[in-house]
Amino acid sequence: MSHVVALPVLIPLLAGSISLIFWRSHSAQRWIGVIANAALLVASLWLLRETWVHGHLVMHMGNWPAPFGIVLVSDLLAAIMIVLTGITGLATALFSLSSIPREQERFGYYPLLHLLLAGVAGAFLTGDIFNLYVWFEVMLVASFALLILGGERAQMEGAIKYVTLNLLSSALFLTAIGLLYGVAGTLNMADLAVKLAEVPPEQSGLLTVIAMLFMIAFGIKAAAFPLFFWLPASYHTPQVAVSALFAGLLTKVGVYSLFRFFTLIFDQDVAFTHEILLWMAVLTMLSGVLGAAAQYEFRRILSFHSISQIGYMILGLALFTPLALVGGIIYIVHHSIVKASLFQISGLVYRLRGTYELKGLGGLFRSHPWLSILFLIAALSLAGMPPLSGFMAKFIIVRAGLEAGAWVAVFFALLVGLLTLYSMLKIWNEVFWKAGPETQHEVPTRGQSPRLTYYYLPIALFAVMTILLGVAIQPIYEIAERSASQLLDTRGYIEAVLGVQP
């Protein structure tokens, strides 16, 4: 048994409590944020290594045995997601150093950030459905608060939609948990995988209903079609560091839960459930990208693209072949990095020019060529240009789609890629290439140019990562491949949690 499984949850929890003790000192909180998130990243890499060597890592919390107590389980998918949590967490902590106003630090920005990360890590690692629900709530409470820090009118408007739809999702989630417990008498995921396989066929209709409830609940969290409109209404309103964290990490929790549930637990009626997932994926891709085409605000465009990219990940799950799952997992990794980076770039542009409206921007290529190149790397990666990470991710999913004969889905996946490119080029033209507006004014940097380092640092690191993911895909591909085979063959997971089955 290895203690590293619990560290990704424990580190942010401890960091959050300690930064609450230092609530008077802003600089102490800032550096606790950086140090704790660096520690989280190290712990997550260690976890990935251990999981790669040992297969599954399980910890029975409080030493209570499996189907009764709560277990933390790390398989490769969970470990990959935890590494993403570490990367995005550290990038956000660095980016926050100079971008978060003092006023918001005073209202507990850093403790909330740690709480959010603890919730996300807990959701990735838990092996118990009710515990997953609790982590979702922890995450939501923290995200509500982060969303309205600052208290502007637009923030309140976005937060109301966000809260309402997420509460609806939580209610559905809880209903589904209740029904599932009624059918199976357990909520431990591994135990469920065993028990549901033995459910008599006349009850399988009920199981499908429960599966659908979970699908809708997680679909809302992941911002999938049709209940996605809370995302573009809210993601452009908070501080950019928060937007980047939300877009990079938070929606992935919904996607991760779909991956976990529809491989481990609900694989009885694949023909039905995964067909629905397929259409959900196609419509999500399409509605997101079409929504983005009509937008002329930097962060709103990015928000709409988040939705369409979620579609690709769900498509990977829906095709349900080993290659498609590999594609889905690589897509999650790619999108976390690129989308967080794009949001941070929008924040830096705002810092330089004081607006997010494309109309009021321009000429940045002339004044900040390096920033423009960083944007171009991230944007082209998002649109799927070789040799960047987006190309590999899209290529694998499209290839899997062709092999599975899902022609319609493949057609839309390629079309959406093209439309994404259009959208990214629109931003490129308006913000960087065209001449600046007549009344352009450089927002005075108030002699703080060294502090811009903390803007550039995470963005540059993200750019390096997306290039590396595209050029040197092999190690990540191998991890994703073994992770996909773990997902498709659930025996390893069940044995690791429950002990060897008789």
Partner 1 sequence: MRMHSLILRTAGHFLLPLLILFSLWLLLRGHNEPGGGFIGGLVAAAAIALYLFTMDLQAARKALWVDPRNLIGIGLTLAVLSAIPGAVLHGQPFFTSQWWPMTLPLLGEVKLSTPLIFDIGVYLVVIGSVLTIVLFLAEAEE
Contacts to partner 1 by CB under 8 A: 1, 3, 6, 10, 13-14, 16-23, 59-63
Q: Measured from the CB of residue 194, what is the shortest distance to partner 1 in angstroms?
A: 22
- In terms of CB distance, is 64 or 296 closer to partner 1? 64
Reading the block at residue 228, the tokens are: 């996605």
Furthest-apart CA atoms within the chain: distance in Å: 77
Q: What amino acid is encoded at 445 in this protein?
A: T
Reading the block at residue 406, the tokens are: 């899902």
Q: Measured from the CB of residue 66, what is the shortest distance to partner 1 in angstroms?
A: 12
Q: Alpha carbon 269 to chain centroid distance? A: 27
Q: Alpha carbon 207 to chain centroid distance? A: 28
Q: Measured from the CB of residue 42, what is the shortest distance to partner 1 in angstroms?
A: 18
- In terms of CB distance, is 68 or 422 closer to partner 1? 68
- In terms of CB distance, is 33 or 254 closer to partner 1? 33
- In terms of CB distance, is 23 or 31 closer to partner 1? 23
Peptide bond just before 226 cis, omega within 30 deg: yes
Query: CA 301 to CA 233: how far, in whole Å?
Result: 11
Q: Measured from the CB of residue 307, what is the shortest distance to partner 1 in angstroms?
A: 35
Q: Measured from the CB of residue 405, what is the shortest distance to partner 1 in angstroms?
A: 46
Q: Measured from the CB of residue 72, what is the shortest distance to partner 1 in angstroms?
A: 9
Query: Which of left, alpha, beta for 108 (phi over 0: left; psi -120 to 50: alpha)?
Result: left
Reading the block at residue 393, the tokens are: 């991710």
Q: Measured from the CB of residue 149, what is the shortest distance to partner 1 in angstroms?
A: 17
- In terms of CB distance, is 24 or 446 closer to partner 1? 24
Enumerate residues 6+ apart whose C-beta is below 8 A from 439: none
- In terms of CB distance, is 3 or 491 closer to partner 1? 3
- In terms of CB distance, is 111 or 238 closer to partner 1? 111
Q: Measured from the CB of residue 1, what is the shortest distance to partner 1 in angstroms?
A: 7
Q: What is the dihedral of CA 53, 480, 382, 390, to 10 degrees?
A: 110
Q: Do residues 117 and 269 lie in contact, with contact meaning Cβ atoms separated by under 8 Å? A: no
Query: CA 470 to CA 42: how far, in whole Å?
Result: 23
Reading the block at residue 438, the tokens are: 């007549």
Q: Measured from the CB of residue 190, what is the shortest distance to partner 1 in angstroms?
A: 17
297 bridge partner residues: 357
Give the gyration radius of the chain's Cα atoms: 22
H helices present in 62-152, as ranges: 76-99, 102-106, 109-125, 129-148
- In terms of CB distance, is 59 or 78 closer to partner 1? 59
- In terms of CB distance, is 106 or 491 closer to partner 1? 106
- In terms of CB distance, is 16 or 238 closer to partner 1? 16
Query: CA 172 to CA 181: how far, in whole Å?
Result: 14
Q: Measured from the CB of residue 290, what is the shortest distance to partner 1 in angstroms?
A: 45
Query: CA 192 to CA 266: how far, in whole Å?
Result: 9
Among 311, 304, 303, 293, residue whose Cα is nearest residue 343: 303
